[in-house]
A and B are shown apart, each in its own frame.
Chain A
Amino acid sequence: MVLKDYFDTTLAAARAGAAWAWESIYRDMAGGLAGFFRGRGVNEVEDLVSETFLSVARDIHRFTGSESDFRAWVFTIAHRRLVDDWRARGRSVPIAESEFAETEAERRWFGDVEREAMTAMSLIEVNALIKHLTKQQRDVVLLRVVGDLSVAETAKVLETSEGAVRALQKRAFSDLRSLISQAASRFRDEER
């Protein structure tokens, strides 16, 4: 929700085909989208991000609403892309195996090696956590935490109720908490 007051102006400019408007929308959301895809174990993250944005650009005239609606709409498209991607591959892509995750971390497009090195957990560890969750919990966690969507926005994307999203995040939380306290020694608590 970076654009806030500028959202309406930016949206209007984007509709008119202004490059700066698209650039700021892209800046605002591409990271979250990429994180969402990456957390779901997608291999060609940047391809899916580009495809999602291409759909957004082509359909921008059909969209009306607030910035919150817009974010939910973009992630809805992303979510559908993900489902299409899976179907096209004819297999369910598992969360990154640790070996894959390592090479993935190296050649990452959005990557920032220094920053990664300083975070408390590695990509491998994060993936291990995500892997532990059920598919539905995973969607909720990734959309809420990585995609930076609200409960209401997440409910829209997943076509469910806010109550269901809250229930899922509660279960995801207690699962993660027990997992983390089991493996507490592995993670240093530097963030807070």
Chain B
Amino acid sequence: MKQTQEFSDRDLDALFDGREVSDERLREVASAFTSMRSVLVGTLSDEHAAQMGAWLAAATPPVDAGAAPPRRAARWRRRFAAIGATATIAVMAVGGSAAANGAAPGDALYGIDRALERVGLLDGGVGERLTEAAHLAAKGENERALVHAAEAYETDAEPELASALLIAADAVRKGDGAGDGNESVADMLEWMATADRGEGFGQQVSAWARGLGVHRADDASPDGSQTQVPAKRPPGVENAPGAGVGVKPGTVGPTDNAGPPDHAGQPGGVGKPDGGDSAVETPDGSTPGDGDPVAPGGNSNSKPDHAGTPGKPDHAGTPGKPDHAGKPGKSGNEP
């Protein structure tokens, strides 16, 4: 405790360490230091810290890379490497993320898509998950698609929707052989991805999703609803291959004046009244198979090109036709 000037090193250490100081004369500066600390340091948001954690974990080189040349020699190389990494991230943000953004589960870029979303470079969110789910459904993987969509709502704190979708997924798995679920699942997911999530959205989706399950359970419902529905849907089917009608199910209504506009316009509205009419979607799925002579022709025309690029993300963006691609594909498989 040597006493140069007025204060001991120990006192000053305590002061700079932010410990309690006993000396009255130190307190003014101690108070200034406290202010300095709180003003300059600030606070971190949990979200930001989590994002940075993921980012840094991704930036950590694999363990083997540790056995590297000595520090001095490596310094400049490391500096360039850091610059390179920053540049890579910048480039990824501009170009790569655009490519990765459209990726659906199972695609090569999908991991990158999710990683970038975690870090915050891409948007992510329910909308994108739903689009991905729609791609899956277009490929015929209905169950995975529904589970994928359910996960999206799970993380988005909408457990009712998530459970409705999981029930639907279950139903699809059980009723696997029936074959016509493809279109309705893809339709529903696509509508969910594009529709506004306003009032009643949840109920419509729940009703629709449960409808899938109900229909699966009693496969022999085609009588009443089937006659009613084909009246509405076939025009849509005819329009489909040529014009990109299917983007929003809602647009089907306006294009074909045949059906009651409100009915066709809001698929959710279709699904709402009771469980039975959500079977609305399914009977028309089965129509090309049994009834409608026009549709199979049109579909077989459209089939080859869809078959060429089944899983392409941008494809689904075009006209929502992937769901039709799914259907003919199915009916093609069955014979």
Chain A hits for B28, CB < 8 A: 177, 180-181, 184, 187, 189
Cα distance, A169 to B52, chains bound together (Å)? 33
Known: A115-B38, A176-B29. A51 touches B82 (CB 8 A): yes
For chain B residues 100-150, which have a beta carbon within 8 Å of chain A?
none
Cα distance, A30 to B44, chains bound together (Å)? 8
Tell me the smallest distance from the CB of A189 to a CB of chain B, in Å.
5
Tell me the smallest distance from the CB of A69 to a CB of chain B, in Å.
14
State whether the Cβ of A15 lies closer than 8 Å to any Cβ in chain B: yes
State whether the Cβ of A86 lies closer than 8 Å to any Cβ in chain B: no
State whether the Cβ of B78 lies closer than 8 Å to any Cβ in chain A: yes
Q: Are B31 and A31 in contact (CB under 8 A)?
A: no
Q: B40 contacts which of A20, A38, A189 (Cβ < 8 Å)?
A: A38
Q: Are A170 and B35 in contact (CB under 8 A)?
A: no
Chain A hits for B68, CB < 8 A: 61-62
State whether the Cβ of B81 lies closer than 8 Å to any Cβ in chain A: yes
Q: A32 contacts which of B38, B41, B57, B59 (Cβ < 8 Å)?
A: B41
Q: Are B42 and A31 in contact (CB under 8 A)?
A: yes
Cα distance, A166 to B65, chains bound together (Å)? 39
For chain A residues 22-58, which have a beta carbon within 8 Å of chain B?
22-27, 30-32, 34-36, 38-39, 50-51, 53-58
Q: Are A39 and B36 in contact (CB under 8 A)?
A: yes
Cα distance, A169 to B8, chains bound together (Å)? 12
Q: Which residue from chain B places its CB closest to the CB of A33 in the assembled complex? A: B41
Q: A58 contacts which of B33, B34, B43, B85 (Cβ < 8 Å)?
A: B85
Q: A119 contacts which of B5, B35, B81 (Cβ < 8 Å)?
A: B35
Give the size range of A's interface with the partner: 35 or more
Chain A hits for B20, CB < 8 A: 192
Tell me the smallest distance from the CB of A120 to a CB of chain B, in Å.
5
Q: Which residue from chain A places its CB closest to the CB of B30 in the assembled complex? A: A192
For chain B residues 22-50, which have a beta carbon within 8 Å of chain A?
25, 27-44, 49-50
Tell me the smallest distance from the CB of B5 to a CB of chain A, in Å.
7
Q: Are B36 and A129 in contact (CB under 8 A)?
A: yes
Q: Which residue from chain B places its CB closest to the CB of A165 in the assembled complex? A: B16
Q: Which residue from chain B places its CB closest to the CB of A170 in the assembled complex? A: B12
State whether the Cβ of B332 lies closer than 8 Å to any Cβ in chain A: no
Q: Are A54 and B78 in contact (CB under 8 A)?
A: no
Chain B hits for A166, CB < 8 A: 9, 12-13
Tell me the smallest distance from the CB of A135 to a CB of chain B, in Å.
17
Known: A54-B86, A145-B18, A192-B27. A119 touches B50 (CB 8 A): no
Cα distance, A191 to B36, chains bound together (Å)? 12
Tell me the smallest distance from the CB of A187 to a CB of chain B, in Å.
7
Q: Which residue from chain A places its CB closest to the CB of B71 in the assembled complex? A: A62
Q: Which residue from chain B places its CB closest to the CB of A147 in the assembled complex? A: B41
Q: Are B66 and A62 in contact (CB under 8 A)?
A: yes
Q: Are A119 and B39 in contact (CB under 8 A)?
A: yes
State whether the Cβ of B172 lies closer than 8 Å to any Cβ in chain A: no
**Total A-B pairs, Cβ < 8 A:** 195
Cα distance, A16 to B65, chains bound together (Å)? 11
State whether the Cβ of A125 lies closer than 8 Å to any Cβ in chain B: yes
Chain A hits for B333, CB < 8 A: none
State whether the Cβ of A116 lies closer than 8 Å to any Cβ in chain B: yes
Q: Are A18 and B57 in contact (CB under 8 A)?
A: yes
Cα distance, A177 to B28, chains bound together (Å)? 7
Tell me the smallest distance from the CB of A112 to a CB of chain B, in Å.
5
Q: B5 contacts which of A26, A50, A58, A170 (Cβ < 8 Å)?
A: A170
Known: A30-B52, A173-B15. A61 touches B66 (CB 8 A): yes
Q: Are B39 and A121 in contact (CB under 8 A)?
A: yes
Cα distance, A116 to B39, chains bound together (Å)? 6
Q: B41 contacts which of A14, A15, A21, A31 (Cβ < 8 Å)?
A: A31
Chain A hits for B31, CB < 8 A: 120, 187, 189-192
State whether the Cβ of A148 lies closer than 8 Å to any Cβ in chain B: yes
Bits for A108-130, please: 1 = Cβ < 8 Å to B, else 0: 11111001100111110110011
Known: A53-B52, A129-B36, A184-B28. A17 touches B42 (CB 8 A): no
Q: Are A58 and B36 in contact (CB under 8 A)?
A: no
Bits for B92-103, please: 1 = Cβ < 8 Å to A, else 0: 000000000000
**Can you spell out 17 A-B residue pairs with CB atoms less than 8 angstroms apart?**
A18-B57, A30-B52, A31-B41, A50-B52, A61-B61, A61-B67, A111-B43, A119-B35, A120-B31, A122-B39, A146-B36, A146-B41, A151-B16, A170-B4, A170-B9, A173-B7, A174-B5
**Minimum-distance CB pairs A-B, first 9:** A23-B53, A61-B66, A110-B42, A35-B40, A121-B35, A22-B56, A35-B41, A19-B57, A144-B16
B contact set with A: CB distance below 8 Å: 4-5, 7, 9, 12-13, 15-18, 20-21, 25, 27-44, 49-50, 52-63, 65-68, 71, 78, 81-82, 85-86
Besides the known contacts A22-B53, A35-B42, A145-B36, 6 further A-B residue pairs in the complex with CB atoms under 8 A apart: A18-B57, A19-B56, A58-B61, A61-B63, A110-B44, A170-B4
